[in-house]
Structure 1
Amino acid sequence: MKLSPSELKTEMDKVRDNKFNKYVKRVTLRNVRGFEEEVIDFKTPVTALIGTNGGGKSTILGAVALAYKNMKPSKFFPKSFYGDDSMSEWEIELEITDKDSAVDRNITRTAKFKQLKWRRDNFPERTVAYIEIQRTVPAGELTKFNRFLAGNKENFDEASLNPETILYASAVLDKDITNYKEIRSKTDASSKMYVGRALNGSDYSQFHFGAGEASIIDTIDRIENSPENTLILIEEIENGLHPVAVRLLVNYLTNAAKRKKLQIIFTTHSQDAVNELEPEAVWASINKKVWNGKLSIESLRAITGQMVNSKVIYVEDNFVKEWVDNAIGRYLPKLAPTINVYAAGGYPNLVNVSKFHNQNPTIKTPSIALVDGDVLGRPGVGELPKNAMFIGDTYPDAIVFNYIAKNKNELASVIRQRCLLTRFDVARISSEIESIMNSACDHHVYFTNLSNKLDFVSEIFIRAGMIDLFNEYNPDFWKTIMDFISEELTEK
């Protein structure tokens, strides 16, 4: 069910090359609910919108829906006669791929709120499925299910679930739902209820489902019954779900998007959901500002000032976070308890996040950014601002692993001890490290591949041990960086 990295890249390339028949490529928000001029590019078929409460995730979701004239703006942007006077200045510009309107180019449309109503001239149509947060409310608390409490069975049809719904919902729930049924009103096709079957063979209605179980089945059923090229919008994908189910559901979404040529956008507060996506697929909306990249949910707390007692360092990913945390503990032990390191995505995202952090008047503690050195010299990468610095001159995981590989003979016995590899002799360890280097594999999988070669010893132990060794034997590498950290985070 989960797509491979190469398949994810292929899907991203399809978006870039306008291979979809219908696709929202870009949304620009002007004066909309606090957004002044923010641009969101949808680079992947499945996109996660993360952020703080009130940060603007649902606003972006609604703005995307406005790309199609069959969607009513009032569903996402209702106007009250109290407090909504500023809507007269709202403007949403959309860049859209629509092969029915233009085969060889994208089209641009602008939705404006003028004279108490939305103006959307010459907008295209598309099937849109909006999966609301209400799906997670127990059936007994929703009035739409009241008709199933008392009535005549002759007024309802019973049917098996879609085979694809059964296949993928069973995978996400980790239980067989082959015998589940759908009960639908003969007079109102939108009125339906699910009936499950227990292990002992007895049936039970949706009134006795867990909220998460009903949510997953309903979400997958709606997606599998949608036509190709549908736009799927989902509010708070993790609501009511176990973290494992969240990860599996996101994997399902990427799979469904590929199979059915869908565009799927969801909001979330879940780190588990974010972890299953590429950095390009994640947009963070914080205080009406947006950033593209794999910001961790934890880092959002720092950006918004919730980590008020800590100085902050933003890095690109979790490997660098572990690397820098270890180095600070070793070389700046007195300062270490006052510093938190957060993964904030690639360049220039982490630089912009750090800049926003330092400009936020509600945050009294400073931040800096440490940028992976692999972007040095690339087109468009200029001089870093005062509160940012490059760390090394290439990929961080390559720096660490290459050093260990180059010095494996001298360090073999220490590697054996630090990486908890005592079941192997030093010759085996050295041989497998050399094999990794000879394989010319991607630097991102150095530690994973070594783990596989050493009988699946924990990659976590191998990575932590090698990071610790590198940091111990390379004080010169860290001196300038530690001086920068000490100066920038103690002078304010």
Structure 2
Amino acid sequence: MNSARVSKTIRPLTSDWNMERYSEKGWPQFLDAVTISGLRGWTGETVEFRFPVTAIAGENGAGKSTVLKTAAAAYRAPDKLPAMRTFYPDDFFPNTPWEVVEKVNLHYQFHLGVSGDSYDLRKPSKRWRGMPERKSRPVFFLDISRIQPIDTLIGYGKIAKQATFRGDETEFSDTDRNMLARIMNKSYTAGKMAKYEQKQIGILSTAEGEYSNFHQGAGEDATTDLVNLLRTAPRNSLVIIDEIESSLHPRAQRRLMSELFSIAHKQRIQFILSTHSPYILEQLPTEARVYIQVERHGNRDVIYGVTPDFAMSLMDDVDHTELTLYCEDKEAAVMIDALISNESPDLRRRISITPVGPASTVKTLGQLADEEKLPGKSIGILDADQDLTIGCVRIPGTSAPEREVFENTDENYWDVVALRLGVRTGDLLDAVEDAKRLENHHAWSRRVAENLGPRVRTDRVWEDAAAVWSQEVVDSADRAQFVKDILGHLDG
């Protein structure tokens, strides 16, 4: 994840989540997981929500919308809010002339305060059971239909002829209008919502005048609807949004996520999103990213902590190389690339290296690859400090990549690195010693680059350090065995 692009509003949210979690000061109402059986190809798989803002990615047809709709039916509307809608499974999964929905079980795990609990909604045959057991909680659901132009929903001609129509209008507060302005990066002098039949019509004003949904772009229309929803969502609500990025360009997507983090923090709201966008995923912490992978035979695997690069690699139409190597992060990827390039340059052209997230994700993907549940040939590449598991190969050494290079090398090694970087060895050694004072070893390369001055890029420091390490420091037999293990997966 590109930390430079991550919103600052994620930090207070993450801090409170780690400190308060399910307490009264935190998120006393929280949907932890849903398990779906007998519905649209789901056979008992569980999807967990491990952060107040969770995004689910996957190809079309993977089941993202089914997860969101299942979550929307988890609660009933509070009695004290009679105007609020309660969602039922039949709202989303009705019988039709082509489908009969039966033998379905939806299992919910949730927290109410610090106590965990669970219940089921079941449809053994004709009707759903378990409705009275549902807890109450405000739930809001925005599906993909929100991005359809208003004239396709209610008929442009019908409303356009009613020149005097104004309808039920609700003004946006300054807070709501400013939120919309920040997301769209546009100045609004006023904003309001008017209701016509079943459609909320957003009406915005700028210095050029007033205009409605009929004359807004799809992104502005959808975001106005979202802001209108958020302005009415009570504290501790569950808000579910399908394809959160729809009709928004990358910068607007990032600004929208920043607003959601802020609202989740201040209002203790839980958001569950679906997305196809790397710009959405890169804003989220590792635990907030979920990928649903559909196997060749239709079964589903739920993978947590994926990187945007990994998610995009499975959702694109690009022809893949002969073998994909899944590793933790870009530092590991650079080290793997250096090892292979030094030992077998021809092999390097046959593989791709994709950072996917923490070691647990690498191990999960290694197992799925071993069971041939991923597209194409692939293996996991674990850092040297990890236990070896099925479907994985381990980088030579005993430590994490940065520790292996920065802590297990001598002055002769740094002489060579300094020559490649074009700096004095003494300056480089001072910069390395200063960097190692940081507790987070992932930040060491960046600190070295900062100490050496603007002429030296952070990426250049690590690329040269890894290249010299792979050529001069690693035992040649260990390097050869590492490459041999990869070739075994490629040719086996």
TM-score for both structures, normalised by structure 2: 0.84
Alignment check: 8 A CA contact 2:393 2:482 kept: no
In structure 1, how many angstroms separate the alpha carbons of the residues matched to 2:67 and 2:308?
Answer: 19
C-alpha distance 354-362 of structure 1, shift in aligned 2 (>3 A): closer
2:83 corresponds to: none
**Cα distance change of structure 1 residues 452 and 78 upon mapping to structure 2, 3 Å threshold:** farther
Find out whether 1:481 has 2:479 as its counterpart.
Answer: no
Q: Which amino acid is the alignment partner of residue 123 of structure 1? A: R
**Structure 1 segment 357-368 matched on structure 2, within 5 A:** 357-360=369-372, 363=375, 365-368=376-379
Partner of 1:40: 47
Check whether the contact 2:172–2:190 (CA below 8 A) recurs between aligned residues: yes
- 1:397 and 2:413 are equivalent in the alignment: no
Equivalent-residue separation in structure 1 for 2:157 and 2:401 (angstroms): 58
The one of 323, 326, 330 equivalent to 1:314 is 326
Q: Does 1:15 pair with 2:31?
A: no
Residue by residue, what CA displacement relative to the aligned partner does 1:243-300 show, whole Å, maximum 9, x if unpaired?
Answer: 2222222232222111110110101111111111111111111112211112445456
Q: After superposition, give the CA deviation of every residue in 1:210-249 in whole Å (9 maximum; x if it has no partner).
A: 2122223332332233111111111111221112222222
* AA in 1 matched with 2:269: L
CA gap of 1:152–1:407, structure 2 versus 1, over 3 A, is: farther
Which of 322, 337, 348 is the equivalent residue of 1:325? 337
Q: Cα distance, 1:408 vs. partner?
A: 7.0
Post-superposition offset of 1:112: 0.8
Which of 360, 367, 383 in structure 2 is aligned with 1:348? 360
Q: Aligned partners of 1:409 and 1:94: how far apart in 2?
A: 55
1:384 equivalenced with 2:389 (yes/no) = yes
Match of 1:172 among 165, 176, 183: 183
| Partners of 1:352 and 1:159 in 2: CA distance | 50
Q: Could you say which residue in structure 2 is the equivalent of 1:447?
A: 445
Residue identity matched to 2:107: E
Q: Label 1:461 to 1:387 Cα distance change in 2 as closer, same or farther (>3 A).
A: closer
Deviation at 1:15, TM superposition (A): 3.4
Cα shift readout 1:338-389 (whole Å, capped 9, x = no counterpart):
11222233233222223323433795x532211223444xxxxxx5125443
* The one of 156, 171, 181 aligned to 2:191: 181
Are the equivalent residues in 2 in contact too, given 1:30–1:38 (CA < 8 A)?
Answer: yes
Equivalent pair of 2:344/2:483 in contact (CA under 8 Å): yes
Q: How does 1:35-434 map to 2 (within 5 A)?
A: 35-69=42-76, 70-82=86-98, 84-85=99-100, 87-99=101-113, 105-120=115-130, 121-143=132-154, 148-151=159-162, 153=164, 155-156=166-167, 160-177=171-188, 179-185=189-195, 191-198=200-207, 201-287=208-294, 288-296=300-308, 298=310, 301=313, 307=319, 309-360=321-372, 363=375, 365-376=376-387, 384-385=389-390, 387-389=392-394, 392-402=397-407, 410-411=415-416, 413-417=418-422, 427-434=426-433
Please tell me the residue identity of whatever aligns with 1:384: T
SS state of the match for residue 319, structure 1?
A: helix
Which amino acid counterpart does residue 447 of structure 1 have in structure 2? S
Work out the CA distance in 2 between the residues paired with 1:343 and 1:168. 34
> Hey, what does 1:380 align to over in structure 2?
none
**Which deviates further from its counterpart, 400-409 or 131-140?**
400-409
% identical equivalent positions: 21
SS at match of 1:353: helix
Shift of residue 415, structure 1, vs aligned partner: 4.6
Structure 2 unmatched runs, 5+: 1-6, 77-85, 295-299
The residue that corresponds to 1:463 in the other structure is 462
TM superposition shift of 1:167:
2.9
Q: Deviations over 1:384-440 (max 9, x none)?
A: 1254436543322333344578667524632523xxxx6xx55544433322223x2
* Equivalent pair of 1:144/1:191 in contact (CA under 8 Å): no
Could you say if the C-alpha distance between residues 302 and 129 of structure 1 is closer, same or farther in structure 2, counting changes exceeding 3 Å?
Answer: closer
Q: Distance in 2 between matches of 1:406 and 1:209?
A: 63
Worse-superposed segment, 21-30 or 464-473: 464-473
SS of residue matched to 1:20: coil
CA distance in 1, matches of 2:412, 2:19: 39
Change (3 A) 1:71 1:355: same
| In structure 1, distance between residues paired with 2:186 and 2:97 | 49
Asked whether the 8 Å contact 2:103–2:125 carries over to 1, the reply is: no
Query: 1:404–1:411: 8 Å Cα contact kept in structure 2?
Result: no
CA 1:356 to 1:66, structure 2 compared with 1: closer, same or farther past 3 Å?
same
Contact kept in structure 1, 2:202 and 2:221, CA below 8 Å = no
Bigger mean CA offset, 118-127 vs 400-409: 400-409
| 1:24 correspondence with 2:31 | yes
Could you tell me how far apart the structure 1 residues matched to 2:323 and 2:336 are?
Answer: 14
* Change beyond 3 A, Cα 1:189–1:228: farther
Q: Which amino acid aligns with 2:17?
A: E
User: What RMSD in Å do the two structures reach over aligned CA positions?
Assistant: 3.1
Q: Structure 2: how far apart are the matches of 1:67 and 1:159? A: 30
CA distance in 2 between partners of 1:303 and 1:181 (Å): 37
- Aligned pairs, how many? 467
Secondary structure of residue in 1 paired with 2:349 = helix
**1:443-485 deviation per Cα after TM superposition (whole angstroms, max 9, x unaligned):** 1222333344445554333333333333332342633322211
**TM-score normalised by L of structure 1:** 0.84
Alpha-carbon distance between aligned partners in 2 of 1:327 and 1:303, rounded to the nearest angstrom? 29
CA distance in 2, matches of 1:361, 1:261: 38
Q: CA deviation at 1:24?
A: 0.4
Which one-letter code corresponds to 1:341 in the other structure? I
Question: Deviation at 1:140?
Answer: 3.8
CA contact (8 A) 2:328 2:382 kept: yes
1:2 aligned to 2:16?
no
Does structure 1 retain, via aligned residues, the 8 Å contact 2:22–2:28? no
